[in-house]
Amino acid sequence: MPKLPLARVQPGQKLSRPVTTAAGVVMVQTGTELTAALIERLRAMGVEMVAVASGGPGARDARLLAEQVTAVEARFAGHEQDPWMMRLKDIVLRQLAGADATTDA
């Protein structure tokens, strides 16, 4: 499983590789199940990407969401200089993340 942006991983997923500092010191071990609190802590530490195991609860949703985000990015390609289009993109991405949150609940 490739690394995912931290914003896209969900509680219940397990790390498939350890989270380390830039110097290589392990902060969180492989196999650790992510919780909302842990994700928040990683974010606070400036961690941007983590590798999570596929197949765990929520993993499929996370992968689907990541695919949808990629599709939105591709659709809006070429409109980067258009402020109106970029605002629309923000709305779409926000609703995508929001819809996922409600599915989870």
Partner 1 sequence: MLDKAVVRSRVEGISKVVTIPAVVNRILALVATGTVSAGEIADEIGKDQVLAARVLKLVNSGFYGFRQPITTITHAMVLLGGDVVKTLVMTASVIDLVDRMNQLLEGLWEHSVGTARAAGAIAERLRMRDVEEIALCGLLHDIGKVIVGQTFPVEHARIRQVVAERNCLQIEAEAEVLGVSHAEVGMWLLKKWSLPPNMVYPIAYHHAFHPRRDFADRTAVVHLADILCRAKGVGYPGDRRLPRLDPEAWQVLGLDFADVEEVCRHLTDESVAGVLG
Residue 56: DSSP 8-state: S
How far the first Cα of the chain sits from its last, in Å, is: 25
Written as six digits, the tokens of 15 are: 């790390």
Please report how close the Cβ of residue 92 comes to partner 1 at its closest, in angstroms.
5
16 binds partner 1 (CB under 8 A): no
Task: Return the number of the residue (5 or 98) whose C-beta is nearest partner 1.
Answer: 98
Question: Which one of residues 24, 78, 102, 105 is an interface residue with partner 1 (CB under 8 A)?
Answer: 78
Strands of 1-105, DSSP E: 3-5, 19-20, 26-28, 49-51
Instruction: Measure CA 55 to chain center.
Output: 16
Q: Does 87 bind partner 1 (CB under 8 A)?
A: yes
What are the residues binding partner 1 (CB under 8 A)? Answer: 68, 71-72, 74-79, 82, 84-85, 87-89, 91-92, 95, 99
